[in-house]
Amino acid sequence: MLAEFAALPTAVSDALDHLGLPGSALGIAPIGSHPRMLDGTASEVPQRGRMKQSAALYRRIAMSRTVAEQFVEVLVAAGVKRVYGIVGDSLNGLTDAIRRHGGIEWIHVRHEEVAAFAAGAEAHLTGSLTVCAGSCGPGNLHLINGLFDCHRSGVPVLAIAAHIPLREIGSGYFQETHPESLFKECSHYCELISGANQMPRTLEIAIREATGKRGVSVVVIPGDVALQQAVDAPPPSALGLLPPQAVVTPAEADIDRLAAMLNQQGRVTMLCGSGCAGAHDEVVALAERLKAPIVHALRGKEHVEWENPYDVGMTGLIGFSSGYYAMLDCDLLLMLGTDFPYSQFYPRKTGTRIVQIDIRPGHLGRRAPLDLGIVGDVKATLTALAPKLRQKSDTAHLEQAQQHYRKARKDLDVLAQSGARTSLIHPQQVAKAISDHAAEDAVFTCDVGLPTVWGARYLAMNGKRRLMGSFWHGSMANAMAQAIGAQAAFPGRQVISMSGDGGFAMLMGDFLSLAQLGLPVKVVVFNNGALGFIELEQKSTSFVPIGTELNNPNFAAMAEAVGIHGIRLEKPDDVEPGIAAAFDHNGPVLIDAVVNRMELAMPPAVNLEMAKGFSLYMVKAILNGQADQVIDLAQTNLWR
C-alpha cells in the first residue's frame, strides 16, 4: 500500500502538467524531494516560498476555464435548460462542466436517437434552443435519425458530436468517423472545433443558425479540445446571441395583387399548415370574409382546427373526404404556411388558381404550379390583407363543404363505437377515449403509421393541447422518445404517447428512462400484433402481407416488471375505465390496448388503382389459403 501512496504525488503532478500547471511549484513532487520526507527529515526547500507559489497557482486554477466550461456558459446564455444524451469518454469534459455549473440538467437516456427526438420535442413545444449530445463515433452517429426529424420539422436543436483526439483524426483511429460530413444533410451548420481559439465564436454561430433558420446545428468537438484552457472571452449577451425573430410582411404591391385575386374568385378554399401558428384568429376571420372552407394539413391541426366553424377537416392520405373535395372543387386554393407534399391531392381542374404564402422562399411552388407566391409571415400578411378584401355573401361552396364534413365526421365517430358484433377493440374507440379523458392542455405524441391516423382523426384540439409526431420525416419509434422531451420540459402537464407496437418495440429500451427519470408519461400502445400501416399498404397495392407479423409480449406485465404501472385492455368494455384510470395515475403508465388487426384506415378517396389492388390482394390471399383473413377483413370493416 505504501508504494501506491508514494506514487500519488507523481500522478497529481503529471495531471497538473497536462493542464499547464507545474505540480512542483505547488509543493507536489515525487517521494524524496517532498518538504517532509517519509523518514522524517526536513526538506531544504523554504516552506514560505512554496506557500506563496502555491497560492498564486491556486488562483490561476480558480481563474482558468476549460473549453468545456466555456461551452456550458454559452449554452446557459442561450437559455438552454437541458441536454439529452448518453455519456462517454470523449464527452467527459463537457458532462463534468455541466455537473459543476449546475445551471443545465443532463437528461440521461438509453439511446442517442431518443436524445435527438426528445430535444426536438422540447424545441417544438417551447420554440427555444434545445441540445442533445453523443460521444465519438457510434455515439453521435446514433443521433442522426432524430436530427433528420428535427431539421425537417424546423425546430431549433443543437447537437454536440464529440470526436476522437485531435491528433488521431484521419488515422483510422478507434471509433473514428467524420461527423462534420455525416451531419451536413440534416443541419444548417456543421463545423469542427479544432482548438480553443475557435471558441466561443463557432458555438455562437451554430446557435444563431439553429434559432434563426429554425433547424439543426451540429458542433463537432474532440474530447481533448474540450479539456484545453479556454481563451479569455466574455460570455455573450442573450440579445446578441439570440436576436428576436423577424416578422416579414410582404410589399404592399403583393398584398394588393393578392387582394384582387381573392376578390375576383368565387369559390376559395384555404389550406393551412404549421405556418399558421399564432394566427388562428386571423385565419378564421379571413375564412369568414371569403366564405371559404378551411382544410388543414396534419401539422396545421393543432393551430386551426379548434373553435373554427369553417374547418372541414384534413386532406391527404389519412385525411377526410370533405377536405379532399373542398380542395378539388375550388376556383382558387390559398395555401397558408404549408408545404403539403402530396401533389395528387391538389386541384386538377383546368383554370384553378393557386396562391401560396410562406415565410420560407424555398417552399414556394415546390408542390404545384403557382399563380402567385408571397414570402411573408402568415399572421402579418393576413393582417395587412384584411382591409383590402370585400365581404363575400355567396356561401354555396362553404355550405357544401361543411355538409360533407358533418357526414364524414359522423361516419368516423360511428367507427369509434364499440359495436355489438365483435369482442375486439376498434383502435378508433381507444383514440377517441384518449381525447375524451385527456387534460385540457395535454401534449400528444403519435408514432408514424396507424397511431398518427387515429390521432389525426380523433384527437380534439382546443388551442391549449399540443400535437406532434414525425409528420415530415416519417420515422418509426418517435412517439415515446418525443414524450420524454415533452415531459422533461413540462413536468406539470399531461403527456400522452400514442405508440404503435412496432414503434414502441423499436426503442423500447428507453421505456426504462421513464422510471429512472421519474417522468409520468402515459404510454398507450396500440397492440395489433403487426406493422399495421405497412400491412395496409401491401394489401392496397395487391401484395399478400409479408414481414409484418409481430409476436408481442404482454406489454402491461412487462411494464410492471420494471416498476411502471401497466394496464391491459382486451375487450371494448375495458377501454373507457382503463383509459380513465391510467390518466388519473400520478406516475408513468403503460396501457396495452389489444386492438383489431383487421381495421382499415380508409383514405379520403378510393381510386381505381386502390380498388384493383385490394381485389387482387383478396384473390391472392384466398389462393394462398388465407380466406379467413379476407372474411375477418370484411367483418371488421363492412359488417359492423
- Any known ligand binding at 501? yes
Task: Determine which one of 117, 444, 533, 614 is catalytic.
Answer: 533
Q: Is 261 annotated as a binding residue?
A: no
Contacts of 455 (CB under 8 A, 6+ apart): 431, 444, 446, 467, 469, 498
122 is in an annotated binding site: no
Residue 447: what residue type? D
Beta carbons of 347 and 330 less than 8 angstroms apart: yes
Cell numbers linked to 594? 389489444
Ligand-binding annotation for 358, yes or no, is: yes
Whole-angstrom distance, CA of residue 496 vs CA of residue 515: 15
533 is in an annotated binding site: yes
CA–CA distance, 280 with 3 (Å, rounded to integer): 74
- Residue 528 assigned as binding residue: yes
With H, G, I as helix, E, B as strand and everything else as coil, classify residue 190: strand
The verdict on whether residue 342 carries a ligand-binding annotation is yes
Picking from 311, 319, 321, 305, the residue whose alpha carbon sits closest to that of residue 269 is: 311
Q: CB-based contacts of 166: which residues, under 8 Å, 6+ apart?
A: 194, 195, 222, 224, 225
Known catalytic residue at 533:
yes
Question: Of the residues 69, 73, 112, 122, which is catalytic?
Answer: 112
Residue 221 · residue 162 · CB < 8 Å:
yes
543 appears as a binding residue in the annotation: no
573 is in an annotated binding site: no
Q: Which long-range contacts (CB under 8 A, 24 or more apart) does 287-292 make?
A: 289/386, 289/389, 289/390, 289/391, 289/392, 290/262, 290/389, 290/392, 291/392, 291/393, 291/394, 291/395, 291/397, 291/398, 292/268, 292/334, 292/397, 292/398
370-267-348 Cα angle (round to 5): 45
Residue 394 is labelled as binding a ligand: no
Active-site annotation holds for 448: yes
Q: Which of the following is catalytic: 175, 400, 626, 635?
A: 175
Three-class SS state of 500: strand
- On whether 425 is known to bind a ligand per the annotation, the reply is no
The answer to whether 317 is annotated as binding is yes
SS3 state of residue 334: strand
Query: What is the crossing angle of helices 427-437 and 450-458, to 10°?
Result: 50
Q: Would you call 183 a catalytic residue per the annotation?
A: no
Whether residue 474 is annotated as binding a ligand: the answer is yes
Q: Which residue has the cell 388519473?
A: 584
CA dist., res. 370 & res. 337, Å (int): 14
The answer on whether 183 is annotated among ligand-binding residues is no
Residue 339 is labelled as binding a ligand: yes
503 labeled part of a ligand binding site: yes
Do the annotations mark residue 444 as ligand-binding?
A: no
15: Cβ contacts below 8 Å, ≥ 6 apart: 23
Alpha carbon distance 83, 78 (integer Å):
13
Number of Cβ within a 10 Å radius of residue 300: 24
Q: In what order do the strands lie in the sheet with 372-375?
A: 311-314, 294-296, 268-272, 332-336, 353-358, 372-375
Q: Which of 174, 344, 391, 440 is catalytic?
A: 174
Check 80, 375, 443, 448 and give the catalytic one.
Answer: 448
Q: Say whether 405 counts as a known binding-site residue.
A: no
User: Which residues are catalytic, by number?
Assistant: 112, 174-175, 448, 533
| Residues placed in the known binding site for thiamine diphosphate | 112, 474-476, 501-503, 528-534
| Residues placed in the known binding site for FAD | 315-318, 338-342, 358
| Residues placed in the known binding site for Mg(2+) | 501, 528
| Residues placed in the known binding site | 112, 315-318, 338-342, 358, 474-476, 501-503, 528-534
